[in-house]
Structure 1
Amino acid sequence: MSVLDIRDLKVEFPGRKSTFVAVQGVHLEVEAGKILGVVGESGAGKSTVGNAVIGLLQEPGRIAQGEIRLHDDRIDTLPEKQKRHIRGRKIGMIFQDPLTSLDPLQTVESQLVETIRTHLPLSSSQARARAIELIDAVGIPNPSERISQYPHQFSGGMRQRVVIALALCAEPELVIADEPTTALDVSIQAQILELMKRLCADRNVAMMVITHDMGVIADITDHVAVMYHGKLVEYGETHQVLGAPQHRYTQSLISAVPRPDVRVERFPVVDYIEKAGKPAKQIDIATHWLGQTRDYTKTDGPLVEIEDLTMRFEVKGSLIPSRRKHFDAVKAVSFDIKEGETFGVVGESGSGKSTIARIITGLYHPTAGTIRFAGTDLTSLTNRRQILAMRRQMQMIFQDPYSSLNARMRVRDIIAEPIKFHRLASSNSEVRQIVEDLLDHVGLGAAAGKKFPHEFSGGQRQRISIARALATRPRFLLCDEPTSALDVSIQAQILNLLKDLQDELGLTMMFISHDLAVIRQMCNRIAVMKNGELCEVADCDTLFESPQHDYTRHLLKLMPSMELLSRANIETA
């Protein structure tokens, strides 16, 4: 008998002029000890189904049709008081961002104890003992000490473990995990997924995992449901759906997944995915502003040379030097980047990847070491004009485009700002034409310039970030996790766009990511970092086929298995 049974579910959001149907005609079942994966792109209705089950639909959302049953007892029509009793006690929830689902002003202990005592008849001391047991069960070391700490004192992976402990503290029958590993490194993701599998097996818990990550689906689920525009388009056992997908949308999702074992020139973008961006407007680079001869110093050697780079942060200050505490984020790192290549930097959070990018662009000043760009020592520059001339040649694309774009400015003003700052155009009309051309070239269209960033999807906002980065006609592009938060098909579009721009403009790129499959598809050479140190640098194929460092081999072993995914779609997409 199923723990969860969803029958003909329809969820709608009434508006002033019309009613938006977010989910329609969905049938799903989850059995005890089994994991159901619900996959699809943003807006597919995945999270809406999860929120409907747990009774957390945002107003004015409502269940307009269908039934939700837990152990054959209908729960969607229960009064709110009874729904509150079910939440936590019978159904646990693991949210995507653990930092926002934990109270920053309360210790982990107080949050766990409060939840346990709300649902179970235990004393404070008994609840605390159970909380320590749960913290230990989810793999957090020194549980009796760490339980008294606050959420900000834990890493992202450890915070997610705390959220899992919260979801399990009242021994629920069903756990709903909404994008539980989206922002985690490959090693932390592997640990969390293994923990979730073990909990299902050991505690006979039914689990529904909501994700857009096909690697997660392939790794841990028993059954998979594929959703598109609020409808269930394919449903079955994981090996069948991923190995021999029947629906064209499922095939399109699988074909767009970056493969660590097969290198392709372009990521397949299937026409079935209607959310694909506009095709980039073709321009004649030879005569266009973007392709005009730039006043850059030519160099015979590598474009970027980093030698013994060290970055130390002070974590505890004191007037007495001996009492100061420091953290070495980057430790004597050396490598070079050749002109025209894409140089990948991979490693876990805290490995120093992003710190190096910020040092190169001048956001941080290194503690020691040198950085030479086109033969010029950036660390020794003091003249502001020289510094700005160098910075104009390098631009950065950040992980979260929304936080890196000014929400109060229109898109046309955001892109025009660096053009005006560096005085790259002779008149406002020329600036306007350049901005429109850039928006056309990244596939958004000139009309997008009138809008604000919040009016765009995540993938569209990243295109805006790319257009802004191109506005100074850079020579060197630093991409810091530019696609980690995007759906797989949108990711494919953005990566293809970056490849096209590199070919057209002769760009050199430094591509930072913890996604090894993306790194393999994008990069010529790869540097592997751990705890601020450089483990190895190798050509892409060499690193994947015969890694030299133990840590590199460890990372490669942790990659989600893609063996179940249909290989036929790579050639046919």
Structure 2
Amino acid sequence: MSAPAPILAIDRLRIEYPLADGGVLTAVEGASLTIAPGEIHALVGESGAGKTTIGNAVLGLLEKPGRIASGTIALDGQPFDPLKPGAIRLGRDIGAVFQDPMTSLNPLFTIESQIVETLRAHLPLDRAAARARALDLLKAVGIPEPERRLSAYPHQLSGGQRQRVVIACALACEPRLLVADEPTTALDVSIQAQILDLLRGLADERGIGILLVTHNMGVVAQIADTVTIMHRGRIVESGPVAQVLRTPQADYAKALIGAVPRIDIRLDRFPMLDGANQTEAGAARDQLREKALAVGDPSSGRDVPLLSVDNLSVDYGAGFLAGRGARAFRAVDGVSFEIRQGEVFGLVGESGCGKTTIANVVAGLRAPTGGSIRFDGQVIAGAEAAPRKGKARRAIQMIFQDPYSSLNARMRVGRILAEPILFYELARTRAEAEADVGLLIEAAGLPAEAAQRFPHAFSGGQRQRLSIARALGARPRLIVCDEPTSSLDVSVQAQILNLLKDLRDATGLTLLLISHDLAVIRQMCDRVAVMRAGRIVEMAAAETLFTAPQADYTRQLLSLVPTLERIRGEA
């Protein structure tokens, strides 16, 4: 019996971006792949490899002046020009799940309005029927209290909940093809497992073809049928998942797979993919040490609490803006812990468990409802806290989860990174500040000319590296890292995490690391607290927690982590 005709067929695709100097940047060169009905085809590679560019081209969202120079794209056997208006009906012919859920949803409309709008634009449904289907979609993607969430606005949901809403919108009209660009980046392992099961079920039961753009090799192993590995715009290896992951042939594929963080053992350093980049970043790191861009005393010992959180509680939904009769929702409920000088302390748990709320209180972005926080002996949050100024304000910096909205789109990168250095008067002259910016850019693994470019010129992973560099530029004592590597590929993740480790060892830099990537938590953290529904359910040394977890919930989280050892279809 002949194989079914592919839903998507890409043949020798070449995508170019004309440059101002008359040259041409080739983002994708000679890429070919097919997706059969019911197939999940994973497209992986480092940031800037061209995988998102291919996804955008299929969706008709290639940004100008980008152009398809040659090659073809066919949907259900019919070639089409995705750059031609009306060539495809986005949402009906092809569904899309983007990496950043906050920019995918309109902040001015409720969740119900946005899903219903998609449904009624493409299907003959009245408002009542569309609302009923919207409710079923929220249930299908695992949104808690779906009836109540329908009337919520995007800012009232956690990052993981927003991404689930985006997936519900993409599935609303049952498209034949789904392009999912990092669909589980913002999700914890338990919700990630639900979403991956959902995607796999859609492929198996409804025959939907899925182009999965991701840097998470564990996710690839768990649900994909085929994997294509890209490097600098070209395909270097493609084939069945088990074959490529078990016995990769290309040197780059071997290095990429070898750089995946392990959850079974703790390594002293993350393996690097590119030795040359490692050398350059290491040279910049050494200069950062000499300039002490991260301040602290590495010899002061780790028995001194730098940050003390005491019976912290945070409520949402109360107050004038919430409306008459609104009930408060307790996001954080009586949480207490200490972080010692030079320690990396991890917070893990499901989306909505209170991790980011704690981070926001520590960083001074939200006031607590009850309890207090002390930093270096001084009350910085709570009833007795004084406004943060000067050194107290500079001492705690934050790396946000979303690199798209955390960088000013109207400022060049050099100015963005120089801003905290100049604001806190950490450089005597602008030239000295620019030199510090150059070190930060190099340490983050980006070329020097990045300083002259705007944030839109970088991939999501590259933008997050710039966000990390900006936080380091303020010379903090504590960095609150809210999912700092969720948008990074494994090679860049290794570079950034090694840099944070080195700065911690050299200067006493202290980290509060919030992540749903438990492999990263094991490799980075000294101690870990596991949260659920606003409370800490277990807190222990990292090695103890990963080798002998005590709480049932902790054991459940660890069992759900996708790894390269769990390849779909293998016993």
Shorter-chain TM range is 0.7 to 0.9
Distance 2:115 2:428 in 1: 62
Change (3 A) 1:404 1:158: closer
Given that residues 60 and 83 in structure 2 are in contact (C-alpha distance below 8 angstroms), is that contact kept between their aligned partners in structure 1? Answer: no
Distance 1:441 1:157 in 2: 30
Aligned to 2:38: 33
Aligned to 2:23: 18
Aligned to 2:212: 209
Kindly state the Cα deviation for residue 45 of structure 1 after the two structures are TM-superposed: 2.3
Aligned to 2:358: 356
CA deviation vs aligned residue, 1:83-102 (integer Å, no higher than 9, x gap)? 345x5444333333444444
CA deviation vs aligned residue, 1:503-538 (integer Å, no higher than 9, x gap)? 111222222212111111101111111222111111
Given that residues 304 and 374 in structure 1 are in contact (C-alpha distance below 8 angstroms), is that contact kept between their aligned partners in structure 2? Answer: yes
Aligned residue among 529, 532, 541 for 1:530: 532
Change (3 A) 1:175 1:366: closer
Letter in 2 for 1:197: R
SS at structure 2 position matched to 1:215:
helix
| Larger gyration radius, structure 1 or structure 2 | 1
Kindly state the Cα deviation for residue 477 of structure 1 after the two structures are TM-superposed: 2.9
Aligned to 2:11: 7
Map 1:31-430 → 2, pairs under 5 A:
31-71=36-76, 73-76=77-80, 83-84=87-88, 87-103=90-106, 112=115, 115-116=118-119, 119-120=122-123, 134=137, 136-139=139-142, 156-271=159-274, 278-281=281-284, 283=286, 301-317=304-320, 323=325, 325-379=327-381, 388-401=390-403, 403-405=405-407, 418=420, 422=424
Matched length: 562
Change (3 A) 1:481 1:69: closer
Distance 1:333 1:326 in 2: 18
SS at structure 1 position matched to 2:359:
helix
Name whichever of 203-212 and 283-292 sits farther off. 283-292
SS at structure 2 position matched to 1:538:
strand
Distance 1:130 1:382 in 2: 49
CA deviation vs aligned residue, 1:320-354 (integer Å, no higher than 9, x gap)? 9x956323232221122222221111123332223
Letter in 2 for 1:550: D
TM-score normalised to structure 2 length: 0.83
Kindly state the Cα deviation for residue 34 of structure 1 after the two structures are TM-superposed: 2.0
SS at structure 1 position matched to 2:248:
coil
Kindly state the Cα deviation for residue 234 of structure 1 after the two structures are TM-superposed: 0.8
Kindly state the Cα deviation for residue 502 of structure 1 after the two structures are TM-superposed: 1.1
Distance 1:537 1:524 in 2: 11
TM-score normalised to structure 1 length: 0.82
Kindly state the Cα deviation for residue 174 of structure 1 after the two structures are TM-superposed: 2.5
Do residues 551 (structure 1) and 556 (structure 2) align? no
Distance 2:60 2:274 in 1: 36
Q: CA RMSD in A?
A: 4.1
Distance 2:93 2:58 in 1: 11
Given that residues 217 and 563 in structure 2 are in contact (C-alpha distance below 8 angstroms), is that contact kept between their aligned partners in structure 1? Answer: no
CA deviation vs aligned residue, 1:414-461 (integer Å, no higher than 9, x gap)? 555555555556677766666666666666688766666566665555
Do residues 510 (structure 1) and 515 (structure 2) align? no
Distance 1:437 1:425 in 2: 13
Distance 1:362 1:123 in 2: 46
Map 1:480-499 → 2, pairs under 5 A:
480-499=482-501
Name whichever of 253-262 and 433-442 sits farther off. 433-442
**Structure 1 gaps, min length 5:** 566-573
Distance 1:516 1:184 in 2: 12
SS at structure 2 position matched to 1:195:
helix
Query: Aligned residues: percent identity?
Result: 52
CA deviation vs aligned residue, 1:237-263 (integer Å, no higher than 9, x gap)? 101111111112222221222111121
Given that residues 295 and 509 in structure 2 are in contact (C-alpha distance below 8 angstroms), is that contact kept between their aligned partners in structure 1? Answer: no
